[in-house]
Chains A and B, each alone.
Chain A
Amino acid sequence: MVGEGASPGEPEEARVAVEAVFREERGLLLASLVRRFGDLDLAEEVTSEAIEAALRHWPAEGVPARPGAWLLTTARRKAVDRLRRDQVYAARLAVLQADAERAETERAEAVADPAGRGELPDERLQLFFTCAHPALAAEDRTALTLRCLAGLTTPEVARAFLVPTATMAQRIVRAKKKIREARIPFRVPGPDELPERLPGVLQVVYSVFTEGYAASSGRSLQRLDLAEEALRLARILHRLLPGGREAAGLLALLLLVHARRAARTGPEGEPVLLEDQDRGLWDRAMIEEGRTLVVHALTGGPAGPYGVQAAIAALHDEAADVESTDWAQIVALYDVLLTLTPSPVVAVNRAVAVAMRDGPGAGLALLDALGGEPRLRTYGPYAVARGDLLTRLGRDGEAAAAYREALELAGTEPERAVLRRKLGDGPGGLAGG
C-alpha cells in the first residue's frame, strides 16, 4: 500500500504521518461510503483504492486542502465506476447519483462546521451499530469493529485475537456476507431500541480493551496496542454520543484503568498488584480526564454499569496508597454493580474490597460462599484472591493449594511466574516460610 515514497527529506517519517492520517480518516470514509452504497465490501475496496491513490499523488502534488473530501470524492468515483461496469447495478445508478447529489447539496449548505473536520459527515455511529448487530456472532462483532472502525488490517485483527490470518479473513467474510445478504441495516437505532442495542456496541469496545488489559494467553500480560485501539474507539463513541452517559462511563473506565498501565507490570513483564504499584507512574492527565467523565456518567439519573465501574476505578486512582483508599465506598459501589450486573466475577471483586475494609477473614468467608459457582472454577483470579487472603490469615497450606490451582488456570507466562514465586522458596514464598 506504500506509494513511491513521500517528501525527499524524511520519506519514512512523512509516510508514517500520512498513514496516521489515513488510519484516522479510514473509518470516517468507510462509514460514509457504506451509508451511501449500502455495501461494506464495495466500500472497503474503494476506500483502500482511494488511499492508495492518495499515497501516489499527494507526495508529488502536495496534500490537498481538504484531504478527507479528496478521499471521499476519489472513492466515490471509483465506486460509481465499478457499479457502472456491473450491469446488474446499471438501473440503480441513476437513483444512487440523484441520492448522492442531494446529499452533496445538503452538505454544502451545512458546511460551516466549527470543528473543522466537517468535510466528511460522521457516519461512524451507524457503522458501529452495524458491526455490533446482535444478529452477528459475538466474536465477529469485535473483529468487524476493529477492521472497519479502528482501521486494522485483517492480519492485524487476526494477531489481536491470536488466530491465523486465514481464519480471521474467513470470519470477516462470513460476517460481511450476513450483513449484505440478510440486509442488516446501516442505521442508528431509534430511541425506543437504543437502550437494547447500545450495550452491545459498548460491549464490543470493552471486550477489545479487556483483551488488551489482561491478555487471555500469550507471552505478555498487557497488549497495549489493543488497549489503545479500544480507547480510541471509546473516544469516537463518546464524541458521537455526547449525551450518552454510559458511553462517557465506558470512556472514563478505560481511561482510569489504562492510566495505571506503566505500573501494572514489573521489569520482567510480571503483573504488579494494585497495592504494590508505584503510583508515581500512573498517568495523571488520563486520571483527570477520566474523573471529569465519571462525574458526567453518574449525574442525572441512575448510573449504568460502566459508570459505576469507572467510579470504582476513580476511587483507586485518587488514593495515595491502599491503606487510604476509600474501601467502604468501593464496597458500596460494588453493591450497586451487583444489582446492575449480577455476576460471580463482580462478587469476587466485592469480596476482595470487603477484605480490605473489614479484614481478610470477612473477605474469605464471602469468597468461600461463592465456591459453588461453576463459572469460578475456571476463573484464575478467584483462586489468586483466596490464596492471598489465606496467606494473610497465616493458613499457608491452604494458600499454597489455592495458588497451585491458580497456576493451572493462568493464561500468560508472567502470571505463572508470579504464582511460582509465591509457591516457591525465598522471601515471601510459602515453601520458604
Chain B
Amino acid sequence: MKYMLLIHSGAVDEQGGAPQCTVEDWTAYDKDVRDAGILVSGESLADLVTATTVRVSPTGERTVTDGPFAETRELLGGFLVIDVPDLDAALDWAARCPGARDGGSVVVRPVADFGAPGDSGDSQGPAASGDPSGSGDFGG
C-alpha cells in the first residue's frame, strides 16, 4: 500500500536546513529508503520564494500570484511516496525522516487507489495493495 509522507520543515535557517539535521542525515535517510526497496517517488522542493500560485475563477479567468508565503513556521519542504504493508510501517519510516525533527513534522497519508483489483503486480502476498475499497487486507 502506498503512503505519501509530506515533509514539513520546522525552524529553518538561511540555508534551508534545520540546526540539528544535516545534509548527511538526509543523504543517509534517502539511501535507507532506496535500499529498503520501498521508494515509489520523492522530491525535495526548491525554496519557497520561488513558489507561484494559480487559481481559476468560475468564469475561467486565470489568476497568477506570487506565493504562498511562509505564514507559519512549518512549510512543505518535500515529499516521499513509499510502498509498505501498513500504517505502522509508514509511521516508522516517517519517524526516521530527518524532517520530523527540530520542530518539523511529517504527515502520513495513504494514497487512494482507484486501480482495478489485483493489477498492482506486487508480490507481497495477501496484505499488498490493489484493492479499490481499501478493505481487502486479509492481514497475515
A residues contacting B by CB (< 8 A) are 35-39, 41-42, 88-89, 91-92, 95-96, 99, 133, 135, 180-187, 189, 193
Determine the distance from Cα of A185 to Cα of B139 in the docked complex, in whole angstroms.
7
Given contacts A39-B135, A88-B136, 11 further A-B contacts (CB under 8 A): A39-B137, A41-B135, A88-B132, A88-B133, A95-B125, A95-B126, A181-B134, A182-B108, A185-B86, A185-B88, A186-B139
Question: A-B pairs with the 9 shortest C-beta distances?
Answer: A38-B137, A185-B86, A38-B139, A181-B134, A183-B86, A95-B126, A91-B118, A39-B135, A38-B138
70-125 of chain B: CB within 8 A of chain A: 85-88, 91, 108, 110, 117-118, 125
Establish whether residues A91 and B137, one from each chain, have CB atoms under 8 Å apart when the complex forms: no
**What are 9 A-B pairs with beta-carbon distances under 8 A?**
A39-B136, A41-B135, A88-B133, A95-B126, A181-B134, A182-B108, A183-B1, A183-B86, A184-B86
Q: Is B140 an interface residue (CB 8 A)?
A: yes
Closest to A35 in B: B139
Closest to B136 in A: A92
Establish whether residues B140 and A99, one from each chain, have CB atoms under 8 Å apart when the complex forms: yes
| Neighbouring A residues of B139 by C-beta, 8 Å | 35, 38, 185-187
A39, A42, A96, A187 pick with most chain B CB within 10 angstroms:
A39
| Neighbouring A residues of B1 by C-beta, 8 Å | 183
Minimum CB–CB distance for B135 against chain A, Å:
5
Establish whether residues A183 and B137, one from each chain, have CB atoms under 8 Å apart when the complex forms: yes
Closest to B1 in A: A183
Establish whether residues B138 and A96, one from each chain, have CB atoms under 8 Å apart when the complex forms: yes
| Contact partner, B85, options A36, A39, A91, A185, Cβ 8 Å | A185
| Neighbouring A residues of B140 by C-beta, 8 Å | 99
| Contact partner, A38, options B108, B132, B133, B136, Cβ 8 Å | B136
Determine the distance from Cα of A79 to Cα of B78 in the docked complex, in whole angstroms.
42
Determine the distance from Cα of A187 to Cα of B125 in the docked complex, in whole angstroms.
17
Determine the distance from Cα of A297 to Cα of B134 in the docked complex, in whole angstroms.
41
Establish whether residues B126 and A88, one from each chain, have CB atoms under 8 Å apart when the complex forms: no
Minimum CB–CB distance for B121 against chain A, Å:
13
| Neighbouring A residues of B86 by C-beta, 8 Å | 183-185
Interface residue range, chain B: 20 to 34
Minimum CB–CB distance for B56 against chain A, Å:
30
Minimum CB–CB distance for B17 against chain A, Å:
28
Determine the distance from Cα of A181 to Cα of B129 in the docked complex, in whole angstroms.
11
Determine the distance from Cα of A133 to Cα of B60 in the docked complex, in whole angstroms.
45
| Neighbouring A residues of B138 by C-beta, 8 Å | 36-38, 92, 95-96, 99
Establish whether residues B87 and A42, one from each chain, have CB atoms under 8 Å apart when the complex forms: no
- The answer to whether residues A99 and B118 also contact, given A38-B139, A88-B136 and a CB cut-off of 8 A, is no
Establish whether residues A180 and B134, one from each chain, have CB atoms under 8 Å apart when the complex forms: yes
Establish whether residues A185 and B131, one from each chain, have CB atoms under 8 Å apart when the complex forms: no
Determine the distance from Cα of A133 to Cα of B90 in the docked complex, in whole angstroms.
14
Minimum CB–CB distance for B76 against chain A, Å:
20
Minimum CB–CB distance for A226 against chain B, Å:
30
Establish whether residues B117 and A99, one from each chain, have CB atoms under 8 Å apart when the complex forms: no
Minimum CB–CB distance for A69 against chain B, Å:
21
Determine the distance from Cα of A131 to Cα of B117 in the docked complex, in whole angstroms.
28
| Neighbouring A residues of B132 by C-beta, 8 Å | 88
Closest to A34 in B: B139
Determine the distance from Cα of A95 to Cα of B138 in the docked complex, in whole angstroms.
9
- The answer to whether residues A184 and B126 also contact, given A39-B137, A91-B117, A92-B136 and a CB cut-off of 8 A, is no
Determine the distance from Cα of A189 to Cα of B87 in the docked complex, in whole angstroms.
12
| Neighbouring A residues of B108 by C-beta, 8 Å | 182
| Neighbouring B residues of A36 by C-beta, 8 Å | 138
| Neighbouring A residues of B131 by C-beta, 8 Å | 88
Determine the distance from Cα of A180 to Cα of B139 in the docked complex, in whole angstroms.
11
Determine the distance from Cα of A89 to Cα of B131 in the docked complex, in whole angstroms.
9
Establish whether residues B87 and A184, one from each chain, have CB atoms under 8 Å apart when the complex forms: yes
Minimum CB–CB distance for B95 against chain A, Å:
10
Determine the distance from Cα of A184 to Cα of B133 in the docked complex, in whole angstroms.
15
Determine the distance from Cα of A182 to Cα of B90 in the docked complex, in whole angstroms.
10
